[in-house]
Structure 1
């Protein structure tokens, strides 16, 4: 089973959402579970240290999941930053004792990590997604994201996940 995870912040509070699914080509109707978690007193954003804010939120959500059934985790962000330094995905991989592969999907480029990513063009978009990975071959990770359902730049499941986190504004 695959889980995609995203976090949304309002001030020092966060809502983390995970959706589980079986196949990269699954649609919204194929989602197995939608899991949410809320955190208060979230650390403030620090440039270059984003993982310190987001990692505790993701770990808290993962305590609600049977990790023995998870074969892959997709995050909104990077596995590697400049010169191979770990981003959120790399820190998550280590926090999980390097047992579950992590794919990072980002919408904006990060200067200095070109050798650690593959740009994935989806649909008719002129703008790529930036895919990084650990625990899985980068080429396989990029192909997996490219194969996800949806005709736009962002795969349908990842767009749906983003929408679910942003519902936090109305809760």
Structure 2
């Protein structure tokens, strides 16, 4: 099983969501999961924002999820020197046994072109970083994900699910 995950914050805490799928080209999720996180600490000023990490770990624990791959909205590495981002911290928290693919709609200041994936000819590229899977393989998986637009269908779905879980 593969998961696409996202976290949405509100005044009281956060909602973590996941959609499960088997086939990279799937148009619909096999199953959806949500978890309510009652309290989320603010990220210390000037430090990497890792608020999503405990939210995602709680979601995985609560629903006894054991995926082979997790796709996150964000970075696994922040640069070509592999400075750890949220995805790398998640990879280590899961003991390195679950591949993590990070997809971002915006590049960091010094993001090399090797991390870019264009899903449509006339759109800006998505940025792909990963751990536990080869970058070329991660980029190929992203290209095959369902959706005619820049962002794959299942990533849009999990974002809506996280935002809608609270209300």
Query: The residue matched to 2:62 in structure 1 has which SS?
Result: coil
Q: Which residue of 1 aligns with 2:7?
A: 7
Query: The residue matched to 1:139 in structure 2 has which SS?
Result: helix
Q: Aligned to 1:111, which of 97, 109, 116? A: 109
CA RMSD of aligned residues (A): 1.7
Q: Which residue of 2 aligns with 1:149?
A: 146
**How far did residue 147 of structure 1 move?**
0.6
**How far did residue 64 of structure 1 move?**
2.9
Q: Which residue of 1 aligns with 2:85?
A: 87
Contact kept, 8 Å, 1:78 with 1:132, in 2: the verdict is yes
Q: Which residue of 2 aligns with 1:32?
A: 30
Deviations 1:119-167 (A, max 9, x none): 1111244211100001000010011011101100000111111111111
Which is helix-richer, 1 or 2? 1
TM (norm. structure 2) is 0.91
Give, in whole Å, the separation in 1 of the partners of 2:69 and 2:136: 15
**How far did residue 111 of structure 1 move?**
2.1
TM (norm. structure 1) is 0.89
Higher RCO (C-alpha 8 Å, min separation 6): 2
Contact kept, 8 Å, 2:34 with 2:165, in 1: the verdict is no
Q: Which residue of 2 aligns with 1:22?
A: 22
Q: Which residue of 2 aligns with 1:137?
A: 134
**How far did residue 44 of structure 1 move?**
1.0
Give, in whole Å, the separation in 2 of the partners of 1:137 and 1:145: 13
Contact kept, 8 Å, 2:7 with 2:16, in 1: the verdict is yes
Residue-pair matches, total: 165
Q: Which residue of 1 aligns with 2:49?
A: 50
Contact kept, 8 Å, 1:124 with 1:152, in 2: the verdict is no
Instruction: Give ranges in structure 1 of 5+ residues lacking alignment.
Output: none
